[in-house]
Amino acid sequence: MDSLFLIVALGAAVAGFVQGLSGFAFGMVAMSFWAWGVEPHMAAAMSVFGSLTGQLLAAVTVRRKFHLGTVLPFLLGGVVGIPIGVSLLPSLDVNLFKLCLGSVLVVFCPIMLFASRLPRIHHGGRIADGIVGAVGGIMGGIGGFTGIVPTLWCTLRGFDKDRQRVVIQNFNLGALIVTMGFYIGTGLITRDMLPMFAIVAPAMLIPTLIGTRVYIGISELTFRRIVLTLLSASGVAMLVASVPKVL
Number of H helices, E strands in the chain: 10, 0
pLDDT digits over 36-47, tens only?
A: 778 877 888 898
- Domain chopping of the chain, boundaries: 2-246
For the segment 215-235, the average pLDDT, to the nearest whole number, is 82
pLDDT, position 66: 65
Q: At what angle do helices 94-114 and 40-61 cross, to 10 degrees?
A: 40
| Burial grade of 197 (CB within 10 A; 0-12, 13-18, 19 or more) | middle
> Which residues fall within 8 angstroms of residue 187, CB to CB, at 6 or more apart?
none
The residue type found at 206 is: I
For the segment 148-162, the average pLDDT, to the nearest whole number, is 84
Of 17-21, 119-123, 173-177, 196-200, least confident by mean pLDDT is 119-123
pLDDT, position 1: 55
For the segment 54-73, the average pLDDT, to the nearest whole number, is 75
Average pLDDT, the chain: 84
Per-residue DSSP letter, 158: T
> Which residues fall within 8 angstroms of residue 217, CB to CB, at 6 or more apart?
none
Q: What number of other Cβ atoms are within 10 A of residue 41's Cβ?
A: 18
The residue type found at 212 is: T
Of 22-31, 62-71, 228-237, least confident by mean pLDDT is 62-71
Contact 86, 176 (CB under 8 A): no
Distance of CA 116 to the CA centre of its chain: 26
**Full-model pTM:** 0.75
d(CA 230, CA 106): 11
pLDDT digits over 1-26, tens only?
A: 578 888 899 999 999 998 888 887 78
